[in-house]
Structure 1
Amino acid sequence: MSTTLDTSRADVPLLRLIGVEFRKSVDTLAGRWMLIVIAALTLIVDLIVVAIANAADFDLRLSSLLWSQKNVMLPIVAAMAILLATSEWTQRTAMVTFTLVPDRWKTVAAKSVVALLLGTAAFLLSLGIGGLLTFAGGHWDLSFSDVTVRYLTWVVFLAQALGLGFLFLNSAAAIVTFYALFVLGTFIVAPIVGPLLGLKSQFVESTWPWIDLYRATFLTYHSDGWPSGDLWGQLATSSLIWVGIPLAIGIWRVLHAEVK
């Protein structure tokens, strides 16, 4: 008896794929624990900042709370995005996924949307907990544009995490690379190495701000109101180098990688 393929059925819709990818991220023991850890760390970091502010008699500000939360929460959310991007390749389910959904761009789009949703939820959680503590005994010093700009920096780093996940197709390599870039760029290169090199070279001084993603995101995150045009330009060019290129190559690799 011969068998035939039914090619008359419609493709899997994108919204269904988004739902599947979302369940794969949160409807597992590991996914649920990561969400619990994010919420717990947010509260713990905020309480530490509140305790320090009270002990030192500092004015508790929402901007300080959000900055402290960002350095703790964002790497964890980025790891979730990377695990989402690499799941087919690390769990060896690529054959099943891409057989059921031959249009790989749909899977890439669904994963990107879910990563953005998870990042947005984490940012709102950060803002909510920080806001409650601020109202209880602090100062809300951020306007709507300030909050929007801070959210955009989260999106930049989430896109970088996705790009590294698609690029390496390996969870461990992508997570280690993201963490190394995040820690070195945020705490060493942007505040120390860049300024020191700029003191010795006028070319570096004029060029460095346009290629240093972590300096650009730091200044954007801490800008008072809407950033200047130069700062937007520096964020755009540095994001193109450190986010756009890995993301473009990574998406191309997912679309063309051989499934073994």
Structure 2
Amino acid sequence: MSTATAPMTLDVAGTPTVPFGRLVRVELRKLADTRAGRWLLISIAALTLLVLIIQMAVVLGQGLHPKYIDFLQGMNTTTGILLPVLGVLSITSEWSQRTAMVTFTLEPSRVRVVVAKLVGLLVISVVALAAGAILGALANVLYGAFSGNTVVWGSAGKFVVYYLLLYLFGMAVAFAFGALVLNSPAGIVLYFAYQFIIPTILSIAAALMSWFNSLQPWIDFNTDQNSLIDGTIHGLLWVKMAVAGVVWLVVPLAIGIWRIRRAEVK
């Protein structure tokens, strides 16, 4: 006599396929797994160190009296420009390297994958800023030791926060452009156009048209961030930067996510 055994079922209703923390860790690992991402990170670290060494040699050789913020700005020369390229590659590589099918099969929710990628990039931004801030502090201390002059720190904490915002904005905008076009070369070109060409065009337009002069700060997100670099941001400048951020960050990112949700995966 045999006894009937009830079939076992597994209730997975409402349970994410992959824990979000694991998704973030996977996306962080993927940033350095590709040759492009790995060499980009290595290049950023090497160039940042080289710039600080050159800056140290110049200030010591010419008898200048730099402050901590000067070394922090030197660090931003390479990191602030090149690091956002990683933001473009993080999302476009899924299509250029044809890994999107595997990624979205393991985690069907494309929005969760996009958010995990973005969180991973923000973590990288914090790590890059921390490394740069430590290198800048070391350069400032070495300057005092080699020159015999008093080391000036100024409002170091405030500027570190401002530069962190710069990194976060740059990485997020680059990511938004990458999500918008889903193509690595096009995303990189679009980001550098936003970084260097569009602000020049807007500045020329503001100089030639008086009515546009008052409009420019409300739509020129890149130029607005200069007030973070020199520490002069206050009051209305925050509002103008927020409005411009909607134009260059929120809108492209929203369109990019909408496109990713509907894009055909091959």
Q: Same fold by TM (over 0.5)?
A: yes
- CA displacement, residues 201-250 of structure 1 (integer Å, 9 cap, x when unaligned): 331221111111122101122115xx311110111111111111111111
The corresponding residue for 1:174 is 187
Structure of larger gyration radius: 2
Q: How many residues align?
A: 248
Instruction: Compute the displacement of 1:199 (Å).
Output: 4.4
User: Partner amino acid for 1:87?
Assistant: S
SS in structure 1 of the partner of residue 243 of structure 2: helix
Secondary structure at the counterpart of residue 225 of structure 2: helix
**2:77 match:** 71
| 8 Å Cα contact 1:50/1:60 also seen in 2 | no
Whether 2:167 is the aligned partner of 1:159: answer no
User: How far apart are the structure 2 equivalents of 1:30 and 1:59?
Assistant: 38
Would you say the 8 A contact 1:14–1:110 is kept in 2? yes
Percent identity for Structure 1 against Structure 2: 35
Q: Residues 103-252 of structure 1: matches in 2 within 5 Å? A: 103-137=109-143, 138-185=151-198, 188-189=200-201, 194=203, 197-224=205-232, 227-252=233-258
Match of 1:36 among 35, 39, 42: 42
Letter in 2 for 1:174: G
Point out 4+ residue stretches in structure 1 off by more than 6 angstroms.
none
**CA distance in structure 1 between the aligned counterparts of 2:61 and 2:218, rounded to whole angstroms:** 39
SS at match of 2:118: helix
**Which segment drifts farther, 100-109 or 72-81?**
72-81
Q: Over the residues paired in the alignment, what is the CA RMSD in angstroms?
A: 2.0
Q: 2:198, 2:65 → 1: CA distance?
A: 29
**Structure 1: gaps spanning 5 or more residues:** 1-5
Q: 1:50 aligns with which of 53, 56, 76?
A: 56
Separation in structure 2 between the aligned mates of residue 25 and residue 249 of structure 1, nearest angstrom: 23
Shift of 1:65: 2.0
Offset at 1:33? 2.8
Query: Counterpart in 2 of 1:3?
Result: none
Distance (whole Å) between structure 1 residues aligned to residue 27 and residue 75 of structure 2: 26
Shift of 1:29: 4.4
User: How far is 1:44 from its partner?
Assistant: 0.5
Per-residue deviation, 1:62 = 2.1
Asked whether the 8 Å contact 1:77–1:118 carries over to 2, the reply is no
Tell me, yes or no, if the aligned pair for 2:80 and 2:166 is still in contact at 8 Å.
Answer: no
Task: Structure 2 unaligned segments of length 5 or more: list them.
Answer: 1-8, 144-150
2:223 counterpart letter in structure 1: R
Match of 2:90 among 84, 96, 116: 84
TM-score, normalised on structure 1?
A: 0.87
Q: Offset of 1:184 from its aligned partner? A: 2.6
Structure 2 SS opposite 1:240: helix
Whichever residue aligns with residue 22 of structure 1, its letter is L
Task: Calculate the TM-score normalised by the size of structure 2.
Answer: 0.85
